[in-house]
Amino acid sequence: MLREAASRYGCRIHAYVLMSNHVHLLVSPETAAGVARMMQELGRAYVSTFNARHRRSGTLWEGRYKSCLVDSETYLLRCYRYIELNPVRAAMVAAPSEHPWSSYHANAAGRDDPLVHPHAVYLALGPNVTERCVAYRALFNEAIGDEQLAEIRAYVQQQRALGNDRFQRLIETELGRCARVRPAHRPRRDAESMPE
């Protein structure tokens, strides 16, 4: 279903992981509405199939999907790893290679996966499949730090532009809206400014 919806709306999937209760995707759309349309079609088709299979009716999702723009120069390969390491962080498997529903097998082992379309940044890891896979697996020797994990999660949750300052300024100029993550809570008033 995902492959068909991605193809129909011009979306190239670079990384994915199917978890027990959610999915992570790294997608490049050809049009601004491509991802939204792909997700809408996928949601409708999956819910219909799931409901028929389990003899139920009604909604299945808790809410709308979340997304964020990603600066490919700095953050793209980190997002690849973030996605493919999700089953490891969830203690479902000890290594990403043990999870069968993931793009890791295509990106790290060169297995054919009709869902995966390598991004130019991934292709730049090496001149051929073997060298790219070796370079890609080497990226997994470095852990994604807690601060980096929190940063990715915050940008997705708030649907902002994950990238360096230059990238965020470009997005803000282009879209006319804030691209940076905002603090989760209002700033606390200091004691001097509080009324007595």
Domains and their CATH numbers in the chain: 2-175 (3.30.70)
Per DSSP, the chain holds a count of helices (H) and strands (E) of 9, 4
Residues 143-168, mean pLDDT to the nearest whole number: 93
With tokens 């996928």, the residue in question is 42
pLDDT tens by residue, 61-90 = 767 889 999 999 889 999 999 999 999 999
pLDDT number for residue 50: 83
The sign one gets for the Cα dihedral 33, 20, 123, 141 is positive
pLDDT number for residue 57: 86
Does residue 45 carry a pLDDT above 90?
no
CA dist 13 and 103 (Å) reads 9
Structural tokens at position 185? 């809570």
pLDDT number for residue 119: 97
C-alpha 76: how far from chain center: 9
Q: Judge whether 45 and 138 are in contact, CB under 8 Å.
A: no
Residues 47-67, mean pLDDT to the nearest whole number: 83
Residues 18-34, mean pLDDT to the nearest whole number: 93
Instruction: Return the H-helix or E-strand segment holding 88.
Output: helix 86-89
pLDDT number for residue 88: 97
> At how many degrees (to 10) do helices 146-158 and 76-84 cross?
100
pTM of the shown model: 0.86
pLDDT tens by residue, 124-149 = 999 999 999 999 999 999 889 999 99
For the chain, what is the mean pLDDT?
90
